[in-house]
A and B are shown apart, each in its own frame.
Chain A
């Protein structure tokens, strides 16, 4: 035996699995003075036994037996309980010690601070089946596993980040506010959105919703209408709160930040900087704040009163917005005492293309921004009544111009663009809607000249595009017009919407710009060539979308805050979990009932072109909650932040990461227990289709003091059953499920169930269907006889089928093996299937240093149960409890004691050598 002293050991022994066996071995070894690591993958120790009602044959309360063992293991000075920890590999070293790799899973709760108050669980918005109640009831994603848990700490289950949330460039968490709206909490939904991005109303109207593009439900009946849900939530909130409920933050700093440009990016940066305590002034060249949201987006999709209300979310923090104040030199801002500057000037400089005949008298050529600005902020709309308008360009801006013009009673509005219709840069749905509103779409046409026809009408002549090429990113590369294909469109006004450039001319001398005028920044921090100047939004990205600009505003604010506080800049921002695997979510929900998306209320085209009223309408509460309930909870935890909001001990930490460890130990005990056979495998017995056919473990939960219902009730309708059948040996001694073994405990726990039911429901009849009763232990036969004395009926017969009857009860068909014999039927109103057990094969995967031998039934093989109990084929690696064969609690305790003795022998002989 090699010496153990050759390597420093972290523990004398590691015990994997903290059920009765693991706890017992740990306590014995701890008492002998050995240092023990007790590893448990669940968040509480106790194993399956702590979930039991009472124990046979004494009918002692399981909690009374197991809780002291849990306390002893948890508080023993020699034992380190490591819960929520999984072993990844066990390797035996040459010197007879073991190297164990393991990791503590991220619980997202600081265990040291958690008081176990369960407020997070009560507030959590995601319900999932409760495995600790064998799926009889729901629990929450944030949960304490059961009332007697040791340690009594909450954990949060996360399976990656929901695709919608992972996609949002502004870091908004759609999965979270959707979950809150589903739960009827629109106020909290608004607040959690606000914490990430303040322009909630604007996003609810004008965001192109990349989240919806990624939504997993989109691969089923259609994406969850996330933006429409947001619209419902924000409309309700703004209706109730005309002004924000907060003011400037308490901890005001002396640092001053200038934000240049009040578009969504600038305002978002201002919001987050002000929340961090900085003094923020926003400088806006135009007469009104809002950038493109104000000047570029037509009212019918971006109502200006919503924008005004959004801006209050920012100014409420004390942010000052100076409109009509263009900034032409950054140096001037510095001279005024600003410590840092954010440039968010956008991309509003129109591209002008020459058109032959542009001087034609009576024809007006305008740039798109001027047209949109005049229609959006002036008191009066420009008069285009009765005029023919052609809009050049096929992007979203061209569509906005054209659809605005049809609302201003133009005689005709046409769009002329180079791309074929299916390649137009605008969204397909937007082109459709423009079409419905009467905009003529001339896709695939190249402008030739302006001229006046014989009747004196100005016309724009164009040629058909013959060939057109795009770059890999889908940008237009080149095109060729086909001569001789001339056609004309009436054109009193021509609006150029053929591209916009960054509005950065003023900063050419002060900042690094690309030849195209884009500000060059550090990708991570958004810092420009001047270290105190940061930039984001369209001025950095080129033409983008509002939520991208907001994302950059938020990112820049994060790094500006760090810079101003003198903190390191080489930290990552928005470090998130990996995206949930959509396929897994789709597989899990494969058999779910299809639920069609709520049809969004939209005004008919004829009605909507009559005014600038919003053409989309807001869903009702019932519609919004129904739509939100289509969400598949892709990441389990929705990130709704309710737990964070309510936790009095501030212990939720979503940045927590799993912690990998490597430990050197003198020996290892595996005590990972057993698996329970899924009774649904016995199809004729109806488990999984008939609600009142339940399993033995479920019956134990119904009888436990911490039961899921208020008594022993049938799951189908909450009725107290009157006539209960307990059917033994389902999936044990059963070759149809390849499990020839007697489960060893089914008979006795069923006798226990029968006795306990008779105590709980004194008027109920209880019948046990058995093949033979195996009451082999001390006091077990007496226990069985006692049940007979109490009136439990015993029927020797194999149950072949359970069917549901018209009255809701069940008919059991069984082969009578005594008495009259033959096939019989009996009616019951609750059926309990005593299920067989299966080996837990996980340990075979954990041992990586060779092969851990299995016995003929796939349990871990004991070298010799008589002469070498608990010893496996690997010296120093022991097995305790049900892992080597299912057994009851007294036998498990004995076996665990034997394992402890074997470990002590191993360690001592190693030391002696």
Chain B
């Protein structure tokens, strides 16, 4: 994939896809930690858009970074231990 990454869609349009993309990202990370460019390549999506989805997942507790950035400056992200999916965040669980 070319390193050139442009903003091709409006933020609102990109964030809307998160609800679908987050499960695809989670499925990929279930196989092992990955950097953002690795996720982008595997899912055939722009790494800019993956950044937006991934950091929303991080914000809501689905993923976390591991340790420090690698020599190229990239962090690896892994799934965070929590109930199977956030659909399980029900009042009974707490």
B19: which of A183, A588, A719, A721 is its contact (CB, 8 Å)? A183
The 5 closest A-B CB pairs, nearest first, are A808-B3, A718-B36, A720-B73, A138-B15, A717-B47
A717-B51 CB under 8 A given contacts A182-B19, A648-B91, A808-B3: yes
Smallest CB-CB separation from A691: which chain B residue? B48
Residues of B within 8 A of A808 (CB): 3-5
A646-B60 CB under 8 A given contacts A138-B52, A691-B6, A710-B65: no
User: Is B16 part of the contact surface with A, judged by Cβ < 8 Å?
Assistant: yes
- Residue-by-residue, is B10-24 near A (CB-CB < 8 Å gives 1, otherwise 0)? 111101111110010
Smallest CB-CB separation from A687: which chain B residue? B7
User: Is B89 part of the contact surface with A, judged by Cβ < 8 Å?
Assistant: yes
A184-B75 CB under 8 A given contacts A127-B18, A689-B7, A716-B5: no
Q: How far is the CA of A188 from the CA of B37 in the complex (A)?
A: 33
- B27 CB to nearest A CB, Å: 11
Judging by beta carbons under 8 Å apart, are A135 and B20 in contact?
no
- B79 CB to nearest A CB, Å: 15
User: Is B81 part of the contact surface with A, judged by Cβ < 8 Å?
Assistant: no
User: Is B29 part of the contact surface with A, judged by Cβ < 8 Å?
Assistant: no
A127-B16 CB under 8 A given contacts A592-B9, A715-B48, A717-B48: yes
User: Is B85 part of the contact surface with A, judged by Cβ < 8 Å?
Assistant: yes
Judging by beta carbons under 8 Å apart, are A589 and B13 in contact?
yes
Give chain A interface residues in 175-216, CB to chain B under 8 Å.
179, 182-185, 187-188
User: Is A626 part of the contact surface with B, judged by Cβ < 8 Å?
Assistant: yes
A647: which of B18, B61, B85, B91 is its contact (CB, 8 Å)? B91
Q: How far is the CA of A786 from the CA of B81 in the complex (A)?
A: 44
User: Is A633 part of the contact surface with B, judged by Cβ < 8 Å?
Assistant: yes
Judging by beta carbons under 8 Å apart, are A708 and B87 in contact?
no
Give chain B interface residues in 62-82, CB to chain A under 8 Å.
64-65, 69, 72-75
Q: How far is the CA of A647 from the CA of B47 in the complex (A)?
A: 34
Q: How far is the CA of A806 from the CA of B6 in the complex (A)?
A: 12
- B93 CB to nearest A CB, Å: 9
- B35 CB to nearest A CB, Å: 7
Residues of A within 8 A of B60 (CB): 121-122, 140
Judging by beta carbons under 8 Å apart, are A184 and B90 in contact?
no
- B16 CB to nearest A CB, Å: 6
- A43 CB to nearest B CB, Å: 18
Judging by beta carbons under 8 Å apart, are A717 and B7 in contact?
no
Residues of A within 8 A of B20 (CB): 182-184, 625-626, 629
Smallest CB-CB separation from A631: which chain B residue? B16
Q: How many residues of B contact A (CB 8 A)?
A: 48
Smallest CB-CB separation from B40: which chain A residue? A717
Give chain A interface residues in 89-130, CB to chain B under 8 Å.
119, 121-123, 125-129
Give chain A interface residues in 580-633, CB to chain B under 8 Å.
588-589, 591-593, 625-626, 629, 633
Chain A: interface residue count, which band? 35 or more
B58: which of A129, A187, A593, A710 is its contact (CB, 8 Å)? A710
Smallest CB-CB separation from B63: which chain A residue? A710
Judging by beta carbons under 8 Å apart, are A137 and B7 in contact?
no
Judging by beta carbons under 8 Å apart, are B90 and A646 in contact?
yes
User: Is A148 part of the contact surface with B, judged by Cβ < 8 Å?
Assistant: no
Judging by beta carbons under 8 Å apart, are B47 and A716 in contact?
yes
A123-B86 CB under 8 A given contacts A689-B7, A720-B69: yes
A184-B35 CB under 8 A given contacts A593-B13, A808-B5: no
Residues of B within 8 A of A49 (CB): none
Judging by beta carbons under 8 Å apart, are B51 and A716 in contact?
yes
Q: How far is the CA of A115 from the CA of B15 in the complex (A)?
A: 27
Judging by beta carbons under 8 Å apart, are B48 and A716 in contact?
yes
- B4 CB to nearest A CB, Å: 6
Query: A184-B87, A709-B58 given. 8 additional CB < 8 A pairs?
Result: A122-B86, A140-B60, A184-B23, A629-B19, A711-B75, A716-B5, A716-B51, A806-B2
Judging by beta carbons under 8 Å apart, are B91 and A645 in contact?
yes
User: Is B28 part of the contact surface with A, judged by Cβ < 8 Å?
Assistant: no
User: Is A6 part of the contact surface with B, judged by Cβ < 8 Å?
Assistant: no
Residues of A within 8 A of B18 (CB): 127, 138
Judging by beta carbons under 8 Å apart, are B74 and A719 in contact?
yes
Q: How far is the CA of A711 from the CA of B75 in the complex (A)?
A: 10
Listed A/B pairs (17) with beta-carbon separation below 8 Å: A121-B60, A127-B19, A135-B11, A136-B55, A140-B60, A179-B19, A589-B13, A591-B10, A629-B16, A645-B90, A690-B6, A691-B48, A710-B75, A717-B37, A720-B69, A720-B73, A808-B3
- B64 CB to nearest A CB, Å: 8
Residues of B within 8 A of A126 (CB): 19
User: Is A688 part of the contact surface with B, judged by Cβ < 8 Å?
Assistant: yes
Judging by beta carbons under 8 Å apart, are B61 and A122 in contact?
yes
Residues of B within 8 A of A653 (CB): none
B4: which of A721, A722, A804 is its contact (CB, 8 Å)? A804
- A872 CB to nearest B CB, Å: 37
Smallest CB-CB separation from B54: which chain A residue? A718
- By CB atoms of chain A within 10 A, which of B19, B40, B59, B91 has the most? B19
Residues of B within 8 A of A736 (CB): none
Judging by beta carbons under 8 Å apart, are B23 and A690 in contact?
no
Q: How far is the CA of A127 from the CA of B6 in the complex (A)?
A: 22
User: Is B44 part of the contact surface with A, judged by Cβ < 8 Å?
Assistant: no
